[in-house]
Structure 1
Amino acid sequence: MAAPERSLTERCLAAVREHFSRLGSEAVLGLPVPIIKDLLPHLTILQLDEVQPALNLRGISTRCGWVKVLQDMSIHKHAASFQTEDETKHEVMKLLFTFIFYGSRNHFISRNVTDSNAASLLLAAAKTIRHFVLIGRHHAAFQRLISEQLPILNLLEKNVCKVNVSLNKKLSKNRTPLVLCLLHRLLDHGAVSSLVLDMQRPLLLAWLLLRRGCQHGDLQEDRQQLLGSRSSSHSSRGSSWSPDDVLIPCKRSKMDSGLEEEGEWEESDFTMDPQDLCRTFGLSPPSGACSRGQIKSLELRMCDPESFRVLTSALPTFFSLQSLTLHSTALFQEKDVLTLAWALKHLSASGRSLITHLNISVLPNAGLMEVLLDACPRLTSLQTEVHAIMWGLPISSNSPPTADSNVSELPLEKLTVQFKLHTNLYFLLSVLRRSPRLGRLHLSGIRLPTGSALSSLLNTLAEWNRRLKTLHLEDMKLSDCLPELLHLLKDCELEDLRLSDCRLLESCVDKDGGLQQLVEALKTLPSLHTLSLAQNRIARSVWVLAELFSGPAPSSVKRLDISSNFIRPPELLRFAKRLAGLAAPQGLVLDLRENPADRDPDTWTAALQRLELVAALLVEGWKSTDTMVDHLQLHPAARAAAVR
């Protein structure tokens, strides 16, 4: 089938792209604004980069052009989800730099990157990117960067603030110094403050953390300690933990039997003085002395036992650390979490702790949340996943603990907890009662025994957490708690409310009436601007949601998410007709994704045409055969059979 003939406008815009260098950017910038906006999606990366500063001065965003590039790259299914011009452009440049720097090819690179423009594109990307991904198998790229592409390296040192390290299992002895030198340049000579390690490399972790805090002492002594501790670590395996294990930060054993599998990594490589690395590659600074950078954010994506031991050894004097994220390859044991709490407590006791964010998965029981919070009293953000409830309390103990004047108030402002299996609310409610400053709360996966309800959770929020601005409740049953939910909404300052997959109407005999009560309560919140009711099987009751914008005091909601609610075309058309006659706020965004539009495409299209007059729509096709799968609470084998 022949491609459809392009319109005259499209051919003209394509000609501007093709002859951009001859026309000059000034000629393009002199075009009328509507034509410039139509032109942006047709421009190349270098052309967009060239015209963006001048267009921004005129108040014109180039976001649509960068979104089109992302779509052409075929990397992001949801390219439009990047909200701002800056973050969209950064994502383009990060991907572009990674492709060109490491010599990767895809259809976009093959079409748009030639030998003549590769250097220019790499330079343009290096000026923009703030996140550098170090992939260990591309040693030739590192060699070129250090020996032939010093202007690129200088730009990376100036602009990159986050480094992600992903090394393969084997790294030859002659290549290890190359990787260490690049890390040293970015972390110590550059502006990097955020480090992500996507691997299990205790020796490398030890080298990166060595003297990152305010430890004093001779570097040669640290080297000897690092080397000499290996034999002692083998003899101590299997012994129980004690505080003495972490009394000497950054100097305890970083090796265990698992390190025998480090491939060709040599332990002597990890005692190399960073300044010696600079001399080796001819990069020594004019002063001859190398500074030591500050790591403010550390993320270990595969925190094995040896890496965990290295980290807890360093923590008591890791004074620059502000954010810590630990993802274990298996469930963290209780003794591991207590070790971490002990190290955090010693760091806090120094009076110099800056840690405000902790993300740890996966905890073996909910009681350890309070242990970590008490160990780090300046913590304002905690994110975790809890897999089981232990500590001897009966699973039906869901009432909040009694008030205790001796329990200290927590400064917690943001809490995110994902639960697995059945949940005991005792410790969660205790944390909530101690956190009156809480502004953001995200809870998901809460499962209670048969006959129990989440009313105690909603009552606790209403009584103790009145400063909440953002509340996300996901994958839990709230249909038995409508009165408590309405009470919570009566006297709060919520700006962002998301009740996703909460089975809101499951127990309602009159579903329209139950939803109407919720709508009336939501209209009393003048601060509310984002509302998500996704995955709640609202279906034919969707017309009630139009009442948010009725009456003398309509809701101020600017973003309404009713995706994945099994809303069929006739039901959406009824909603559209009702909404069209009301005062929907200007700039309303309506998320209609993952609803069965294919049941009646003509009616669905008619509904969308009405809705487009009052809202910006997020619409995405979805097969009706998949619609019900999200809502089936079946055994995996039964769910697979249902899909078939």
Structure 2
Amino acid sequence: MGDSGMSAAQGRSEDRCLKALCLQAVRRHFSALRVQALLDLPVPLIKDLLHHLTICQLDELQPALNHRGISTYSAWVRVLLDMCGPKHVIDVRTEEEAKHRVMRRLFTAVFYGFTNSFIRQNLTDLSSPSFLMAAAKCVRHFSLMTMHKPLQGLTAEQRPLLNLLEKHIRSVGVSQCIDSKKKTKTALYVLHRLLDHGVTTELVVHLQSPIVLAWLLHGRGSQYMNPELKNLMHSKKLSCDSTAASASADKASCSSGLTARPSEDQEGQAPACKRSKMDCVSVEEEESNYTMDPQALCTLFSPCNGPSAGPCPSGQIHRLEIRNCGSDSLTVLNPTLPTFFCLRSLTLHSYYSTFRDPDVWSLAVALRQLFHSSCSSLTHLSVSVLPRTDFMEILLDSIPTVTSLHVEIQSVMGFSPRDPRTAESHMSCAVKLLPKSAELPLEKLTVKVAELQTDVHCVTSVLRRTPHLISFHAAGIRLPTGSSHSQLLTTLSESNRLLRSLNLEDMKLSDCLPDILNLLTVCRLEELSLNDCRLLEKCSDQEESLQELVSALKTLPSLHTLSLAQNRLARSVCVLAELFSGGSASSVKRLDISSNFIQPAELLEFTERLKTHCPPHLLTLDLRKNPADRDPHTWNSALKGLRPFCVLLVEGWISTNTMADHISNM
């Protein structure tokens, strides 16, 4: 390079350095500058400036920029990449979506004082009160953890933040125990403000504590009130110790006539009512230290301990999720269900074991009583893990107004109820099942199974009774050797012609291609996912079979999402480029071909074919978990060819990880 060339390059480098220094100066002195002064800058300079601004500055400037027609999308995506790492897939479409994801990821960590490399690098900006106030406008879920200092701040210097959270938080998660006097008062007050004074209608409970669950449900939707349990809540300390909490609930249940079924780890121990007393201070001392009454909490935490402004409102729980649900939780929940008229969605999940038969029967009875009230609003039900497949239909018959059901099933080998007479008692008091021909209004059904063999007749029986079904997701359904999923697919074709979304996962469909093709002719699918289904395993000519599927998919103008992940497509993937060929190009806008052991040369061929018949719209293409590092140069060349008409979802692959390699190609 000549002296003039070197001089020109050096000049451009100096210009870039000077420009960067100026933009950094704007960041440092942002508060002294007028927003209008920044808006008067040329658009290219504004776009460069966005990547130098702090999160708070970007948030403040965004409305004015949008008014001028300038998007901040790229700046928020850059923040996400800084937070998650350059190899993280950022699958966001709009600037609001990107901004909200940034704020949600940071709010909880900053509020509770957690740190990571990104927070440490931006501590000056993130530690300012203005960040939490800005983030609170984007956050819809608040996780309550019993870290006393941050929660106490909401009752004192950060009270304006609590007022803002009241207006925006839709969902509250209780994920840690509420213990000790100070933490109890503060945590319950924050919960009361969000659940009763705020707009929160969704509650997610992660801990096993019947007393805490009772407090959370009390007066927030159900008309049920147990006097003994209410007295217990007002006189005993909330405890995160499961044994103490269970013992307290059992004492209340025994005194009130409730049947408190012991959990499995308590079986064989002394009866609940004969346990030794908890080590706790006297009732008088506890009541003098704090109260659990919401109205009294408001009075206690109002400024200067003065009286609160009038009686406190009582919130309503529309969506309840118990993520660590056991027999003790059901003992508290089931009596409330028959009058829980405002409840629209109920999710019960047992992390460590399947529900026992008596637990499911008692839940079915409570749901049936709610149905008989004629005031039920419950439309979504999710229960996992059920011990038997037939319980799916029993739950539907208990509350046939449900339009969305999600169940996970895992048979318990060699397990029988502790007392058979208890199970028989539950069956006898349970409502009579509806006739097998009775139509159900179900629109969405998810069935996930983890067992060696599944009674598919239970699933097809439900499908035949749900002609209005629009979404079906089945995973892990395994049949005896020699059996086929043809019956399941035939039932869908005959009984569920309104189906719009079909997701079959971890199922052997290698002999079901004709049934799949027939289903595509009768259902106007919008989403089709056939993940880990061994689609081409038994095909003598894999490319020809895949071509048949592609031809059928092209006849569906409604289809916009297609996923064929984990199907060992490998070199056959090139056939998928034919989706967009000819006069009847597919309307697919999102294509997932991840985990298919697609080699770089095969992806390059796919790219070349796709260039000859480009998609009519921008295509989101998921290429994750394919062996890109076998030939990085060829892989990158293929990606470069795809970028003009694809949004690519890619991430790193390490071929030396032989297990991942094996799983992808087995």
TM-score of the pair, normalised by structure 2: 0.83
Alignment of 1:37-76 (within 5 A): 37-74=47-84
CA distance 1:487–1:261, shift in 2 (3 Å)? farther
The answer to whether structure 1 residue 467 and structure 2 residue 498 are counterparts is: yes
What amino acid sits opposite 1:486 in the alignment?
L
Amino acid at match of 1:524: T
| C-alpha spacing 1:561/1:32, structure 2 compared with 1 (3 Å) | farther
8 A Cα contact 2:469 2:499, kept in partner:
yes
CA contact (8 A) 1:100 1:118 kept: no
Q: What is the CA–CA distance in structure 2 between the aligned matches of 1:343 and 1:108, rounded to whole Å?
A: 48
Please point out which of 514, 519, 537 is paired with 1:483.
Answer: 514
CA contact (8 A) 2:539 2:545 kept: yes
1:376 partnered with 2:399: yes
User: For 1:351, which of 367, 374, 377 is the aligned residue?
Assistant: 374
Change (3 A) 1:216 1:597: closer
The question of whether the paired residues in 1 share the 8 Å contact of 2:110 and 2:126 is answered with: no
Q: Deviations over 1:580-607 (max 9, x none)?
A: 1114222112221211111122222222
Q: Say whether the 8 Å CA contact 1:204–1:270 is kept in structure 2.
A: no
Cα 1:564–1:257, aligned 2, differ >3 Å: closer, same or farther? Answer: farther
Q: Which structure has the higher relative contact order (CA within 8 Å, separation 6+)?
A: 2
Distance change in 2, residues 1:232/1:219 (3 Å): closer
Q: Match of 2:328, as an amino acid?
A: E
Match of 2:347 in 1: 325
Offset of residue 91 of structure 1? 2.9
- What one-letter code is carried by the residue in structure 2 that aligns with 1:417? V
1:526 corresponds in structure 2 to: 557
Q: Cα distance, 1:624 vs. partner?
A: 2.3
Q: 1:240 to 1:234 in 2, by over 3 A?
A: closer
2:157 is aligned with 1:155: no
Asked if the contact 1:594/1:627 (under 8 Å) is kept, the reply is no
1:237 CA displacement: 11
Contact 2:89–2:650 under 8 Å retained in 1: no
Note the alpha carbon deviations across 1:312-347, whole angstroms, 9 max, x for none.
111111111111111113210111111111111111
Q: Which residue is 2:605 aligned to?
A: 574
Q: Is the 8 A contact 1:366 1:389 kept in 2?
A: no
Structure 1 residues 415-461: Cα deviation after superposition (integer angstroms, max 9, x where no partner): 11111122110111111111111111111111111101110111111
What is aligned with 1:279? 299
- Output one character per residue of 1:109-152: Cα deviation in whole Å (capped at 9) or x when no partner: 2222239961121222223322111111x112222211222211
Would you say the 8 A contact 1:129–1:159 is kept in 2?
yes
C-alpha contact 1:196 1:299 (8 A) present in aligned 2 = yes
Q: 1:304 aligns with which of 320, 326, 329?
A: 326
Q: Distance in 2 between matches of 1:96 and 1:259?
A: 45
Partner of 1:105: 115
Residue of structure 1 equivalent to 2:203: 195
Looking at structure 1, the residues matched to 28 and 234 of structure 2 have their Cα atoms a distance apart, in angstroms, of: 59
Preserved contact between residue 564 and residue 627 of structure 1 (Cα < 8 Å): no
Q: What per-residue deviation string (whole Å, max 9, x for no partner) do you get for residues 462-521 of structure 1?
A: 111111111111111111111111111112111111111111100001011110111111
1:166 equivalent to 2:175? Answer yes
Bigger shift: residues 265-274 or 55-64: 265-274
Say if 2:222 and 2:336, in contact at 8 Å, map to a contact too: no
Deviation at 1:92, TM superposition (A): 2.2
Is the Cα contact below 8 Å between 1:17 and 1:42 reproduced in 2?
Answer: yes
Q: What per-residue deviation string (whole Å, max 9, x for no partner) do you get for residues 247-271 of structure 1?
A: xxxxxxxx88999789999896997
Aligned to 1:246: none
Corresponding position of 1:550? 581
Letter in 2 for 1:411: P
What count of residue pairs does the alignment treat as equivalent? 605
- CA shift for structure 1 position 23: 4.1
**Contact persistence 1:173–1:264 (CA under 8 A):** no
CA distance in 2, matches of 1:503, 1:515: 12
- Residue pairs, 1:402-417, within 5 angstroms: 407-417=437-447
Report if the CA contact (8 A) 2:600-2:638 is conserved: yes
Match of 1:428 among 459, 477, 487: 459
69-78 vs 434-443, greater mean Cα deviation: 69-78
Distance in 2 between residues matched to 1:48 and 1:275, nearest whole Å: 40
Provide closer, same or farther for how the CA distance between residues 210 and 82 of structure 1 changes in structure 2, counting only shifts above 3 A. Answer: same
Q: Within 1, Cα distance between the matches of 2:120 and 2:167?
A: 29
Secondary structure of residue in 2 paired with 1:385: strand
Match of 1:336 among 359, 371, 375: 359
User: For the residues of structure 2 that align with 1:437 and 1:117, how far apart are their CA atoms?
Assistant: 52
3-state DSSP of counterpart to 2:90: helix
Comparing 221-230 and 621-630, the one that deviates more:
221-230
Cα distance in 1 for partners of 2:274, 2:150 equals 32
Separation in 1, partners of 2:526, 2:611: 25
TM-score, normalised via structure 1 length: 0.86
Cα 1:111/1:61, change in 2 over 3 Å: same
Which secondary structure state, in structure 2, belongs to the residue aligned with residue 331 of structure 1?
Answer: coil
More displaced stretch, 339-348 vs 383-392 = 383-392
Cα distance in 1 between the residues matched to 2:612 and 2:377: 53
Indicate conservation of the 8 Å contact 1:558/1:585, yes or no. Answer: no
Distance in 1, matches of 2:653 and 2:279, equals: 46
**Distance in 2 of aligned mates of 1:424 and 1:211:** 41
Please identify, of 139-148 and 121-130, the stretch whose mean Cα deviation from structure 2 is larger: 121-130
Does structure 1 conserve the Cα–Cα contact (< 8 Å) formed by 2:171 and 2:200? yes
Which residue of 224, 236, 251 corresponds with 1:231?
251
What is aligned with 1:396?
none
- Residue 34 to residue 435, structure 1, CA distance change in 2 (3 Å): farther
Cα deviation for residue 616 of structure 1 reads: 2.3
Aligned counterpart, 2:640: 609
Aligned AA (1:569):
P
Q: Which residue in the other structure is 2:137 paired with?
A: 127
CA contact (8 A) 1:414 1:438 kept: yes
Question: What whole-Å deviation, never above 9, does each CA across 1:285-307 have from its counterpart, x for those lacking one?
Answer: 76420111011111111112211
In structure 1, what is the Cα distance between the partners aligned to 2:97 and 2:353?
33
Q: Is the 8 A contact 2:385 2:409 kept in 1?
A: yes
Percent of pairs identical after alignment?
54
Distance 1:593 1:368, change over 3 A: same
2:502 is paired with a residue of what secondary structure?
Answer: strand
CA contact (8 A) 1:207 1:270 kept: no
Shift of 1:356: 0.8
Query: Where do 1:564-603 residues align within 5 Å?
Result: 564-603=595-634
User: Could you say what secondary structure the match of 1:81 adopts?
Assistant: coil
Other-structure match for 1:251: none
The AA in structure 2 aligned to 1:194 is E
Number of the residue aligned with 2:267: none
Deviating more after overlay: 559-568 vs 10-19: 10-19
Provide the secondary structure at the position in 2 that maps to 1:359.
Answer: strand
Among 479, 497, 516, the residue aligned to 2:547: 516
- Measured in 1, the distance between the counterparts of 2:580 and 2:505 equals 25
2-side partners of 1:570 and 1:229: how far apart? 64
Q: 2:592 corresponds to which letter in structure 1?
A: D
Residue 363, structure 1, aligned to residue 386, structure 2: yes
Range with greater deviation from structure 2 (265-274 or 105-114): 265-274
Deviates more, 1:482-491 or 1:281-290: 281-290
SS at match of 2:621: strand
For residues 134-149 of structure 1, what are the structure 2 equivalents within 5 Å? 134-136=144-146, 138-149=147-158
Contact map agreement 1:389 1:424 (CA 8 A) in 2: no
Residues 176 and 265 in structure 1, CA contact (< 8 A), matched pair in contact too:
no
Indicate if the aligned counterparts of 2:110 and 2:127 stay in contact, CA closer than 8 A: no
Change (3 A) 1:263 1:75: farther
Contact 2:185 2:291 in 1 (8 A): no
SS at match of 1:354: coil
**Aligned match of 1:642:** none
Does the 8 Å contact 2:622/2:650 carry over to 1?
Answer: yes
Q: How far, CA to CA, are the matches of 1:462 and 1:220 in structure 2?
A: 54
Amino acid in structure 2 at the alignment position of 1:317: T
Change (3 A) 1:11 1:586: farther
User: Could you say if the C-alpha distance between residues 544 and 339 of structure 1 is closer, same or farther in structure 2, counting changes exceeding 3 Å?
Assistant: same
